[in-house]
Structure formats: C-alpha cells, structure tokens
Structure 1
Amino acid sequence: MHERFEKFIPHHSHTKGQLSYVEGGLAYLQINDRHYVIPARHYFWVPQGLTHILKIGHSGTVLRSLFFYTHDDDKHPFYSEVGIYPINELLMEMIKYSETWDGHILPGESRYLFLSVIKNILPEISAKRLPIALPFTENERMQPILEWIQNNISATHTLRSLGSQFGLSERTLSRLFQSTLNTSFLQYLKLLRMVKAIELMLQTDLSMSEIGYSVGYGSLPAFSNTFYQLTNFRPSDFKKNF
C-alpha cells in the first residue's frame, strides 16, 4: 500500500507483520501505553496481532507499507518487537521499486520472492533503533496535567511549579508520573521535548536555536546535548539527513 494523505486509523491489528516506511512528513503510532513519532526517512515494524493506532500527520506524508507472512517469524526476535529505524539506501531503493505494486502478491510470483528478500534482511539492517517512545496514559487525573505541559512546552517546568498549578504536592505528583507512565517527571519532559523538536524540524524552517527555545531549552548546547543523548544525532545532522 502506498498512501499520500492525512489519515487516522483507530485501534486495529493485522494477521500479518507490518513494515511501513515514512518517506516524507511524520507518522504517529500508538501501541499500548506508548506513543511513537516516526520521522521522514524512517521505517517501523509492527508484529502480527498487535493492536495499534496509526496517524499520518500531514497531507504531504508518504507512507509505504508491506504486510508479510508470519510463518517464519520465530527465526529472529526482530519480528516480535515494535521498532523504529532510520532507513538505509538498500532498503529505501527496494521499497521504492515496489511502489507500483498494490494488493496481494502471491507465492510463485517473482514479486513475492523480491519482497521475501526484504523481510529476510530486516534483522541484519535494523540495528540502530530510534529510542523515542513517549509514555501515554488514559488516567483521568493525569490527562489535564500532560495536556497543560504540552501546551506550554517552552515554559520552565518543575515538580513544584506543576504541583502548584494543579494543587498537588511534589511527592504526590512524582508518584503519579511513576505509577501511570512508569517513568519520572523529568524523563517524560525530556522525551516530550524531543518529540516536539522533531516535529518542528520536519514541519518548519526554524533554526536549531529557535527550535531549542520553542521546546524549553535556554541554550543551543543544552538542547543539542539532550537530543544527541536520545537519538545519537546532533539536531542539525538529524534535520539534514531526514
């Protein structure tokens, strides 16, 4: 399937494994209690039977998806795990080669053999996983807190300031983050800021300093160091490559 438009697909699952390449724009994936942002020039794998929500975030986004047989998934752990990876030239050209194909490809067709090769090489070429997964919760007490942080991402946030905003003690708020998101307040804030930074990189012409300031960092080095810590890319390199 090769798609180019905004799209929202609510909770669903497949009897096949899903490989999707985001050629341009942004896509968003929600699985259980995690939100994933998939930037351009990245691909993701969703195992068979795993319920997920998929959102194509912009009309300029191109999403190319291949759905694979699962009878040999037990030959490598890759096929049983959700993952997001930067694409290399080999896989990108192979996926683009199939862009005129649509619908079912059956055993015995030469195209079937070609696509089988793609599946077989995935574990070997998918060593560098993008480690940005934003925790998610439907806890009614936490949702307004998380929404407020997102809407005020450029502000300076601490447990004390956030607690004052919502009438909670620092200790209570810290426990809420840990119990509902399974992460600390500071780690959640860091991940959220990196997700927002990636969105701004791919959807605006803001400079790196402006992006860093927009997501709450007072200096470019502080923003750059945090971004590198989570992605192994400097922000400028990430924008240039993807």
Structure 2
Amino acid sequence: MGLIASLPEIDEQERSAFVMHEKSEKLIPLHTHKKGQLGYVEGGIAYINIDEKTYVVPARHYFWIPHGVPHILRIGHSGTVLRSIYFYTHDDDDDSFYGKLGIYPATELLIQMINHTECWDGTHVVDTDYNFEFLVSIKKLLPLLDTRALPIILPVSRDKRVTRIIQYLEDNIGEPISLKSVSIQFCMSERSLSRIFQTQLHISFLQYVKTLRMVKAIEMLLKTNSSVTDIAFSVGYDTIGSFSNTFYTFTHSRPSDLRRL
C-alpha cells in the first residue's frame, strides 16, 4: 500500500507510531494528520508546500512536520525513497522542537535507525510491541541533534505580477541579476520592486535570488551529472569559493559532499 492510500490509516491509532517507506516520484495532495511526521529523504529531493512556502528537502536530510499542519508533499525524483514515521503526540510538549516545522541534515546514527524501521513498513507500532521503544528512541533523539533548521525555503505568491517576476528570475538564474536590472525589465522603480518582495513574499529581493540559486543548484547536483563548477556558473556564481560557501550556509554541507553522499 502506498502513502496516498495509507493517509486515512495513519491516524487510526492515536498512541501508535506508523511506519511508511516508499520509493516513487509522485505528488501527495493537500492533507493533514494528527501525528507528527518525521520524513527522511534518500537519493533525491522532496518538496513540501505549506502556507504559500516551498520547503526543499535534499537527499540525506530529514524534515519534521508537526501534527495538524496542512501540507502538500512532492517527491521529485523517481529514485527517491521517502522514509516516514508518524509519531504519537501525547509527549510533544516535552520539547519545543516538536512544534516547529523544519529541515535538518541527518546524522549517520539517525539514518541507520530510520533505515532499520523498513522491516515494519506499513504497520502501526504500539506500546505493547517489542519494537516500540526503538521508535521512541528515534523521536527522543531528534531534539538532541543539530536543531538549526535549514533556510531552504522559497515563498510563493498567487499574484500574477509576482509570478511573472519569479518566472523571469528562474529563466535567467545564470545571468547577473540585480534589483536594478529586474526593475528595468518590468518597468518599475527599484523601491517598488523591493516593496513587492517584502509585502508579497516577506523576504528581501536579494535573499530570494540567493535562495532560488541554491534550490536550483541542489536540483542540478541531485538530478544531473554536471560538474560542481558548471553548476556554480549555471546558477549565477563567478567563483567556486563563493558558491561553495553560500551552499554550506544553506545546507551545512559542501556541494561535492551532498552529491557524493
């Protein structure tokens, strides 16, 4: 049974942990569940849409979605394995981590523990089961890891003017992009363009461009065989050093490390 078919089953047992591992390229439509979701992305990339924001989850990273948060989940590569554990919520108040959505780099220990749960795929694990404490340990481990959520988040807008500007940025991401050049392209003042990003997307123009470049770089690293140098130039960087340092700020890893792992 796939994830979409399993959505109604996740909440059937309130105090259980539900395990689901799935390899596919698909869109899981808008949904919510009464459990918190730990999701680990293996071998590709995933996208989470929440409140007009797109969270980008590269391979070897995990995400936590608190219970009750409506979201769309898209697995963006046919070779991607999404490993999820949906956890009971009666102890969520023990740590503020469980109340925040975030994307984090996965440690080797966490990866091994999550991978081990594949043998319980598609099942509810309850407190009377022999393996329940193992899953409890995974949940308790999360707040003890690096809890600095990665800023790989692209805001979106339904405003037609904003979507045209965003499309232009995507189409020209490899070119020199500045507030001045884009404002001229759309026949508006720099101040007006800057205000649009702050009011519509709640992010500065420059920060949006930087984030978009990193998202495109992550996609190219995971989906193509292009060299790191070619990718850096393709997303608008003149030097490898500048590209690598910015990439590390966003992902806590170097471009070559992300691809190798």
TM-score, length basis structure 1? 0.94
Whole-angstrom CA distance in 2 between matches of 1:215 and 1:49:
36
Whole-angstrom CA distance in 2 between matches of 1:121 and 1:191:
29
Alignment of 1:97-116 (within 5 A): 97-101=116-120, 102-116=122-136
Amino acid in the other structure paired with 1:168: M
**Aligned mate of 1:20, from 39, 58, 82:** 39
Asked if 1 retains the 8 angstrom alpha-carbon contact of 2:105 and 2:251, the reply is no
Whole-angstrom CA distance in 1 between matches of 2:252 and 2:140:
26
Amino acid in the other structure paired with 2:107: N
2:251 is the counterpart of 1:222: no
Runs of 5+ unmatched residues, structure 2:
1-19
Amino acid in the other structure paired with 1:238: L
2:93 is the counterpart of 1:37: no
Q: Deviations over 1:87-107 (max 9, x none)?
A: 112211111111021222222
Q: Deviations over 1:114-137 (max 9, x none)?
A: 211111111112434322212222
2:178 is the counterpart of 1:161: no
Q: Which residue of 1 is the match for residue 94 of structure 2?
A: 75
Q: Which residue of 2 is the match for residue 213 of structure 1?
A: 233
Shift of 1:219: 2.1
**Count, aligned residues:** 241
**Aligned mate of 2:74, from 55, 66, 77:** 55
Asked if 1 retains the 8 angstrom alpha-carbon contact of 2:105 and 2:252, the reply is no
Runs of 5+ unmatched residues, structure 1:
none
Q: Which residue of 2 is the match for residue 122 of structure 1?
A: 142
- What's the RMSD between the two structures over aligned residues? 1.5
Q: How much identity, in percent, do the aligned residues show? A: 53
2:216 is the counterpart of 1:196: yes
Q: Deviations over 1:22-72 (max 9, x none)?
A: 111110111113211111111100000011110000110000110010011
Whole-angstrom CA distance in 1 between matches of 2:211 and 2:141:
30
Cα distance, 1:76–1:202 mapped onto 2, change above 3 Å:
same
Amino acid in the other structure paired with 1:53: I
Asked if 2 retains the 8 angstrom alpha-carbon contact of 1:86 and 1:128, the reply is no
The 3-state SS of whatever aligns with 1:217 is coil
2:160 is the counterpart of 1:136: no
Shift of 1:202: 1.2
Whole-angstrom CA distance in 2 between matches of 1:81 and 1:232:
19
TM-score, length basis structure 2? 0.87
